[in-house]
Amino acid sequence: GSSLSGLALPWFVLETTHSTSRMGLVFAVEVLPFVLFGLHAGVVVDRLGPRATMLVSDLARAPVIALVPFLHATGGLSYPLILAVAFVHGGLSTAYFTCQRAVIVPIVGTVEQDVARANTFLEGATNFTSFAGPALAGVLIGLLGAVNVMWIDAGSYLVSFVLVAVFVRVARDVYDR
């Protein structure tokens, strides 16, 4: 999902402003939270636990991304607001991506082979989506437009929320004190 917004939001800015500088700034602002908060995202995971953090991140990213096409349709969208959306989306994504690694041990336990197998699966899925996600986003942007791709991405976060809620069961919470 985040690969869709990662391309659709800057592309939307390029389409609406015709400014490559503004497009680049949106991309940079969305990546900035990874740099600023990446090391500290573990504090959030420590407080909420990895599963809860993933659920909160997904549930929050859906309306954040949906805000852009909604405000665009209603005439209330501004460039500073797009920058704010990009920053908040990047921050929520930082917490989510931190949890993807942190949730492995609570799910599969501490047996080294199980952890290695789960990590291999996660890395394979991450690498696949890093490759296929932007390609899919490009095709969808060409077919449906950037605004509609952001609607789809908002929906994908809701689907992710449901999938995590239903299928991610933590055997033990390594973060309990």
What's the average model confidence in pLDDT over 108-113? 87
Residue 64: partners with Cβ closer than 8 Å, 6 or more residues away: 85, 88, 89, 92
pTM > 0.75? yes
* 19-72 tens-digit pLDDT: 999 999 999 999 999 889 887 887 878 888 888 999 999 999 999 999 999 999
Estimate the share of the chain in helix, then strand, then coil, as percent rounded to the nearest 5: 85, 0, 15
Residues 146 and 137: their CA atoms lie apart, in Å, by 9
pLDDT of residue 62: 97
* 117-175 tens-digit pLDDT: 988 988 888 888 888 888 898 999 999 999 999 999 999 999 999 998 998 877 544 44
Residue 97 has pLDDT above 50, yes or no: yes
pLDDT of residue 167: 85
pLDDT of residue 104: 84
pLDDT of residue 63: 98
